[in-house]
Amino acid sequence: MDADNRDLLDLLMPCVSSDHVFQKIKSHVGISTLADLLYRYAALGNQLANDVALHASSNLDRQWATSLFAKQLDVQKQRDLLKQV
């Protein structure tokens, strides 16, 4: 299980039956380079959701968007420092 998504999966799993399969779609992939058409379709949906979320967050509340961006930079800095340990 991908550690970056563990918290989301832990919350989601009690809500679904055992016959469901969840697959993480990697973000920021070269969609045109994906050979599997179903995976490409999922990646296109993921890209659209990302683009809409970025547009909404940056246009609806600029102060909130700025604070999210600062938090993202801080989290990435902390991850980079952790990798050095």
Listed by start position, the domains of the chain span 31-85
- What are the Cα distances from residue 10, in Å, to 2, 13, 75? 11, 6, 21
Distance (Å) of CA 51 to CA 6, 55, 60, 67: 24, 6, 14, 18
Under 8 Å CB-to-CB from 26, ≥6 apart: which residues? 43
pTM reported for the whole predicted model: 0.49
Rg (alpha carbons) of the chain, rounded to whole number: 16
C-alpha–C-alpha distance, residues 53 and 73, integer Å: 18
Q: What string of pLDDT tens digits covers the 85 residues of the chain? A: 455 667 777 777 777 777 777 666 666 778 888 898 988 898 888 889 888 888 887 788 888 888 888 999 999 999 999 988 8
pLDDT at position 1:
45
